[in-house]
Amino acid sequence: MLIRVRRSWEIPESTATPERRFFDRRSVIKGAAAAGAALALPSAALAADDPLAALFPARHNDVFKLDRAVTPESVNSDYNNFYEFGSSKQIGAAAKSLKTRPWSVKIDGLVAAPRDIAIDDLIKAMPIEERLYRHRCVETWAMAIPWTGFPLSELVKLADPKPEAKYLRLETFQDAKTAPGQKQFWYPWPYVEGVRIDEAMNELAFMAIGAYGKSLANCFGAPIRLAMPWKYGFKSIKSIVRISFVSEQPVSFWQKLQGGEYGFWANVNPDVPHPRWSQATEELIGAGKRVPTQLYNGYAEQVAGLYKGMEGRKIFF
Ligand SMILES: Nc1nc2c(c(=O)[nH]1)N[C@H]1C(S)=C(S)[C@@H](COP(=O)(O)O)O[C@H]1N2
Ligand SMILES: [Mo]
């Protein structure tokens, strides 16, 4: 099966965002450093601090195209949701206190061999590539991000789940000493999300370990986070420490907190409003404009089939 059929979201190269834009920007920074500009970042020192420096630049997978410009890194890192570090969008400084080495990910539940894997051993075992993805928060803002990482399906294969396993339950670290938001006892910490196994096996389900051509900044959910671009952003859980294979549908952090507003499936749909606001349009952060929301955030051809036979269930909620 080597036939390549163009999907609707694979827009022609000529109309796509110049994908190398952010690399161009990086070379501008390097050029400035070479010129001895006082403002330039010492890029060699940055690389030395990055435990994954040797992985970059990662192979760029150009199957995944965008219909919009990549959100500049500076804009993106100043506009995050990461409630462990507070409920404002500017959590970048607070998130710096998170120690991401040593870090291990526990894989347990209904699997052949439960284990703890050191993050760097996990990354070494995975095929690493870069992909450009849209991101759509349930709050109606959107971005476009160059992630580096590996398909979640590869991790499922490594885990070797038993036939009774139907869902993945993913969990974020818990440590109120470094994450002051976790002192807010009214939230059901730790942050938990869940996906069905066939969603995890879909080619779009991605585990990000980098963004913008380097290791994930803490504000993006270092050292490893999920990216499920056809779902509202809250499904894309950050700073993961545990992935359990389970038979029952997990109850997520947001479902526990406000089940009447945030459901399990959370697929993007312009025609299904949130109980308190419309989902018809979205704001492109940093671009200063609103555009129409797309069904499954523009990835319908990849994922609509996952939800066949679920008509009448609240899959867009
Ligand atoms: N652990 C954890 N994961 C999380 C969140 C969070 O607060 N804690 N926020 C979610 C929400 S609502 C969004 S929109 C995205 C934001 O990801 P970004 O900061 O990379 O844009 O992370 C998701 N993952
Ligand atoms: Mo979000």
DSSP code string of the chain: ----PPPTTS--GGGS--TTHHHHHHHHHHHHHHTT-TTS--HHHHHHH-TTGGG-SPPB-TTS--SSPPPPHHHHTTS---GGG-SSS--HHHHTT---SS-EEEEEESBSS-EEEEHHHHHHTS--EEEEEEEE-TTSEEEEEEEEEEEHHHHHHHH-B-TT--EEEEEE---TTT-GGGG-TTS-SSPEEEEEHHHHHSTT-EEEEEETTEEPPGGGTTT-EEE-TTB-GGGS--SEEEEEEESSPPPPHHHHHHTTT--S--B--TTS-BTTB--SEEEETTTTEEEE--GGGGTHHHHGGGGTT-TTS-TT-
Q: Ligand 1 pocket check: which of 141, 236, 243 to mutate, most ligand atoms within 8 Å of Cβ? A: 236
- Kindly list the structural domains of the chain, giving each domain's residue range(s) and its CATH number in brackets, ordered by start: 58-307 (3.90.420.10)
Would you state the pLDDT for residue 83?
A: 98
* Predicted confidence pLDDT, tens digits, the chain (317 residues): 343 444 433 333 333 333 333 333 343 333 333 333 333 344 454 566 888 999 999 999 999 999 999 999 999 999 999 999 999 999 999 999 999 999 999 999 999 999 999 999 999 999 999 999 999 999 999 999 999 999 999 999 999 999 999 999 999 999 999 999 999 999 999 999 999 999 999 999 999 999 999 999 999 999 999 999 999 999 999 999 999 999 999 999 999 999 999 999 999 999 999 999 999 999 999 999 999 999 999 999 999 999 999 989 999 99
Query: Which pLDDT belongs to residue 49?
Result: 80
Tell me which residues have their CB closer than 6 angstroms to ligand 1: 80-84, 135, 137, 172, 191, 220-221, 233-234, 236-239
